[in-house]
Amino acid sequence: MKKIITIVLLIIIIIGCATFIFYGTTSPSISLKKDSFQFEYGVPVFLRASDVLDTDNEKILNSFEVDTSKFIYKNHDYPEVGQYDCIVSYTKRNKEISDVIKVNIKDSTPPKFTKIPESITIEQGDDSSLVSNFEAKDLSSFDIKIDTNQLDVNVPGEYEITVNAIDSYKNTTSQTVKVIVKPKQEVVSNNVVQTPTTNGPRYVKGILIVNKKNPVPSNYAPGEDAQAVNQLRLLIQDMQRAGLNISNSYSGYRSYNYQANLYQNYVNNYGQVAADTFSARPGYSEHQTGLAFDLLHQDGSLVENTPEANWIAQNAHRYGFIVRYQAGKEAITGYQAEPWHIRYVGSIATDIYQSGLTLEEYLGVAGGEY
């Protein structure tokens, strides 16, 4: 009898040990995959057991829950930006287990422009309407800010501004927009619209006029006009492709002080009467506008009565230029003929060229001497 009892106890011990070894060494494990999760603002948050827990057998899970009661919602189905502590609860073989994870809601999406024009025209001296030209949208609050460092609202011309839409988390969208500053206009006799000359450059029919009767202020310094330079380079390239002797170099924008020194040198060498026939006094030079250019041969000499000069006379208008000082028009322009001196006027260049008129005649303004 004792022998039988001993055998039964031994069997029980063996079964117990086998059970302990089996469950202690082969039981599937469960652990957190990671303790923090990040979601983009605007996206509903859903966390499944497979997202949070690392296990090779989900069947041993009797329950799983993520407590998101600390999430803050504002009239939508996604939580507000912030970091939340969430309790993860699950049951493994009837054993309740809890862990804490962090859920980070982050806004990393910049605003999107819904209204942004290619160009804006404003009146000289008034940039108050700039911001109204732009609209954007974003899930977070945002501001539209304009970088006007390159804009001189008091000087007519074309500029570029940078428009930024910046949300409350510093996400930024930027666009570059052209701004055209239109001169203040008033109606004078004969229904001609022009700008008074007392406070700045004179515009007639939208064209800047600079001659011996119409100067620009000494502080007028727009630099080279970008569009004019682009068209000038196209003109030079086409002349070179045609085999003409033309340089990539040219004489373009001149400041008031530069022109003053240049003019004085001519006066010193030739006398003022002679100098006034081919050199402008400071403030009276088209070169100060950034719209006038002197074309050069490859040896640096000015383009005169050569095939190059003929080509310029016949084709410059196709690029938005006119030959400003023509032979036989000296009494009107106030200067000797200069086949090398071209002036950018844009789309009306062909009309002026076909008319055969000087800029003074075309615009109906006075020219000649000072």
Question: Hey, CA dihedral for 246, 249, 253, 257, is it positive or negative?
Answer: negative
Query: What's the rounded Cα separation, in Å, for the pair 54 and 228?
Result: 66
For residue 97, give the H/E element and its range: strand 95-106
Query: What's the rounded Cα separation, in Å, for the pair 14 and 12?
Result: 5
**Bridge partner residues of 84 (DSSP):** 103
Tokens of 127: 């940039």
Instruction: Characterize the bridge pairing of strands 292-295 and 338-344.
Output: antiparallel
Q: Is 283 exposed, middle or buried (0-12, 13-18, 19+ CB in 10 A)?
A: middle
- 8 Å CB contact between 167 and 110: yes
Please tell me which residue in 58, 160, 304, 338 is annotated as part of the active site.
Answer: 338
- 8 Å CB contact between 183 and 203: yes
The Cβ of residue 302 has, within 10 Å, a number of other Cβ atoms equal to 14
Query: What's the rounded Cα separation, in Å, for the pair 235 and 177?
Result: 26
**Bridge partner residues of 141 (DSSP):** none
- 8 Å CB contact between 277 and 370: no
**Main-chain phi, psi angles of 106, to 5 degrees:** -125, 140
**Bridge partner residues of 193 (DSSP):** 187
96: annotated active-site residue: no
> What separation in angstroms does the CA of 254 have from each of 155, 158, 233, 294, 336?
17, 18, 18, 11, 20
Instruction: Calculate the dihedral angle through the C-alpha atoms of 30, 36, 41, 42, rounding to the nearest 10 degrees.
Output: 10
Residues designated catalytic: 338
